Every structure is written in C-alpha cells, then in structure tokens.
Chains A and B, each alone.
Chain A
C-alpha cells in the first residue's frame, strides 16, 4: 500500500470506500492514478464480521447523529436513524443484499415517459441505457453477477420456494433466484455461497461482492492506493479560482489533517455527500460547494419500500440461506393503468428473530404482534422496492441546532411520500399478499419501510446545470475538479436496487477522469 504526503497535490482524494468510492479507487489505481481513499469507519474483514444482528449493527452501521422530519413513517419509527448505511471500509457493500439489476431503458427517460407528475421534479437522465450497457457488463463481470457472464444462478432457499410457488399460482411469469453479486460457484478468488444467512451482517465467506475484499485489495496491489480508515472528512477546501484544493479530515487520533488534492470525488452515500458540500460553504460559495443550482440535498429518493411477511402451516425457516434469495420482476414495468407510474420489484427477505421483533411493526405490542414471533419458523418474507418520485422538498439539509461528535451540524432528512409512492406501495402490498395467499398463507402482514438503504438523488446528474449538481460523468457543473461518485448522482431512482448502477457509473467515471487528468484539462 502506498503512503502519500499530505501536501502532495497530485493525488485524487476519494471520500468513502463503498460501491462508488471503492470501485472508483481501484479503477483509477489500475490506470496508474495516485489515490488517497478516506473512509470514516474502521477496517473489518470477513473474519471479524459477526453473525449477530445487533452486534453487527453496532460494528458496521453509520450511527452518527441524524434527525428526520416529514410525514414518512420512518421519521416516527426511527427518528434518529433515517438510513441504514455503513461506516466501515467497504461502506454499505458490507451490508447490501447483493441484488444486481440494470435500470430499465425507460427509467433513464422518466420525465419523458411518465410525463409531468404534479409535485414531482422528474428529469430525464443525461445518459441512456445504451451508453451505459458496456459499463454495466464490466460491472457484472467484476462483481460476478449470477445469470450474466455464464455465472449460473444461485440455488433457491426455502423462502424462495414459497415465493416461487405463490408467484406461479397467481400467474407471474418471471420469478427466479435473481441477478446476485454472490458467487454461485468459486470465482475470481472468492468462495461459493454457503447459504449462511446474515448477508446483511457482512458475508463471512466472502461469496458476496464487497469493495472491502475485492476492489480495495486489488487497488492496494498497484501501489497507487493510500487507504486511510477512520478518517472523517469535515470540509472540502477550494481556492480563489473556485477549484477544490483538498480536504480537512479528523484522523483516528482525533487530529485534524489537511490533505491536498488535484481532484476530489465525494462518495459518502446520499446523506453525507450533500451534507459535506453544504458544510463546505464559504464566502465564495455561501450556499455550499457546487450548489449554484440550489439542488444540493434536494430530490432525495429512498425507493418506495415495504415488506410482506406471511405465516404458513408448515415450517419455512426463512433465515436459512441467502437473505435476498429470489425475485419476481413482473411488476417492474411502467403501466399507469395500475394507478401509478414506474414499477416495483418483489424480492425475498428474511430477518433474524431480533430484527424481526424490531422491524415487523415498530411500536406494536400485544397478541396480534406476538402471533408472528410465535410462528417465526413458519414465516416467509419479501421486500417490495420500487421507483419513488423525486421532490425538491424531500431534502437533506444541515440541522444547525444539533451537532455531531465533530461539532458539525447534523444532517436532517426530510421526506414526504408522494401520492404515487403511496399508490405503488398499496399495490405492491396487495400483490405480495396475493402471492403468499396463493401459497397457502394463514395470515399476512404489511410491514412498513425500514430505515432507508437506497439513498439516492441528492446531487443529481442533469444536462442543464440549472436542474442538477453534476453532469453525465458525475463532474459537478460548478467545480470541474469536484466529482460526485455515489448514488447521489441518480437523476431518478428506477425500481432496481442501485448498487450495480453505482458501480457502473464509477467504472465509467474513472475512464473519463483518467482521460481528463492525462489531457491536463482538470
């Protein structure tokens, strides 16, 4: 591993080591670019991951203080925990389930296809599926996505068997074990899935792709990566010309360090990324960095989500094996006749007993609630995930009345469900219940959204600098050597789990960035 000087202003500084930052770091290092990768969390490994839901949560989750507002139920159930993301080397790729779906062609043209939806700030991406397709393919190969590049599908577990039987009975056509970045057989130095369960707690066999043990070690081998864990970035610096010059971070010993940089790439997930731009406000940029459009922090999306759990007569033991073990894609298309625009996916999900108690119906008590835990071994579950509407008022802002451990204003996450989100959620709940009833469910339950795992859109890409924060390369419209490298770039959310698209954009961005560096245009 390399060690670069704090005053070395030839390095690219990347903030965040997850799907976006971790991938970008490796891609740049492979091209010979010097990278300083700053990660707020500690470095764990498959050996230190814990098969215990609460202990693992304490080990991996981003637990810095945050506040919430708005009418979404998460603000009531988890007022201090709007999102379930990670603060650790590898970021949320340690926690993610592994579902790796490409966005649909029409989802890149949401404004054109869905029309002018009242109360939504829809916009077409400055990108097409066709432009992204070769990069999607490289991402799928890199991650070992099943059902691509001759990688076979994973075997379905019991939870999948229930979903599949119900799906067939209600007439769904497309139900299988999905496109997963989990090895169905050994591939690229990673083992085959042992059906451990605990995918959310860090994969102990390393079968699931995470930048922690793929991209980052590969980048370290090049001698071009200086990874600094426990380095929490407080501020991005800029010069009089308006270009960024480096970052200030708090290191593991609690000391502030200033790292100079030729380019800064922000990949802190869609809450911390806009927060850092806002925290970097100056007399030159009083509204925050790269915010002449006023769009930094706006259009926060978190996907329409919800879950359906069902109790059956016979044992299911859904906790065995892959957490996200299969998918129904029949509802993923856009059909406004259903009463909403956009589509959603239905994906199996299981929670262990501790998290089932915490998340099944937060705040509930009494026999209606305990019925489900009494029947834990006979439960099946699925997660519903669909496209939500961007809204300018759904927004990450600085809450100056609350400070974090660094003395900085905490982020407030404001979200109100759009009517379209509500209509889609109700449709998805009914569809999920129908699947389980067809498979013989005794009772079904509509579980409200968990803290957000798919945080998107707060520094969105736009063709016109007025409408968003960055261009189609993730380069900010205002500051040419400042890049957005995570899901904050998403112009709209699509229905699909976003990690594959984040990795795809990072691969593509690395090519552009390296080219600009060699042309000395940044």
Chain B
C-alpha cells in the first residue's frame, strides 16, 4: 500500500476512464483528485498540491504537452503521461515537455501504480562523508536535494535530481541505460531507453554551461553515460 496521504491528480477528459482509474488508484490507498481539462487541472493543482500528476495527452483545449510545460514552470512534481501511441514523436515530445515517465493506453492499473510508486521512492541515502559532491563548478548536496553551478542554485525535477545523484554515486563510472532505468525508474530489462536519453538531455540544459558540448554528463558511445568534473 502507498503512503497514506499521497495525493494524485488525474487529468483525463473521458469520464469513464477517469472514474475507473480513480477507483483503481484508491484501492492502492491513495487520494485521487480529478480534472477533465488542462485549465481545471491548473486550478486544482494549486489547491490540492498533489504528489504525482497523471496527464492524458489528448485533452480538449490546452493539450497534455502544454499542461505539462505549464506545471513544470513552477513545480518539480513527478508527472506521468498517458499517450495513445507509443511512437517516437508523442513519447519524446511528452518527455521533453517535462514528463518523468509515460504509459501507453490501454495500460493495466497495476502498471500505473508501479510507475507511481517508483516515482515516489525516496532517494537512497548516500554513504556518510559524501554529504557534498563536487564536480568542477557543480556541487550536489543529495540530502538537501540541492544542486549549484558556480554557486547558483539549479532547479531540477525529482527525477533529474535522482538521475544526477545516481551518476554521482560513482564518478567516472559508465552507467548503461538499463542500469539507470532500473535505479532511477525501477524498470526491468525492457524499459524504454528513450526515458534515459531525454532526461539526460534535459539535465544537460540545466547543469552544462554549453549543453551542446557537455563537460559533466558525457555520452560513452554504445555503453551509456558518465559524470565527470
């Protein structure tokens, strides 16, 4: 069962799906708020301050991508997107709009709760003595969830932060996509590598001074990613 008091905002215009998903999520012990449109979701978001937001991409009026971007402007809340298609365009566009994970309709509610649980996990405590990790101009304080570049604080989403911390646990080591999918998202061998790729891209726009020529989060061709000073 999930943490008592965990609130989920479900944004879906199809009333029957919304109701069924709400019933299924409530069985997990979570509180579910419902919104039928993007505009309604934004109003509700400020009032209810949910722990996870579930967004269907196909919404009337403001679509899911735009809602995602709007929420991301002032929140690092974990977002799960629901797409109708799992082709490259929708998935990558959703992730780039700021979603942390995605599901393709029709998904089993078990899958959804597994995804939500993975996003709600706490960051693993880092071994003592490493309260502060320094990579050149980059400083990470895992326990406070704080990252600074050249003394300036950066705003990372929870997933971006977790990804950065995973890479920072073992500086210089190459992490394969699979191991990052497992550690950050809780996926098995068959997770979608695009999750890692898009998140790395998003992370670079924040931690790199020149995201096109990354110095910290570097790609190791054919193997994965590595964090360096």
Question: A and B: partners?
Answer: no
**A interface residue numbers (CB < 8 A to B):** none
**B interface residue numbers (CB < 8 A to A):** none
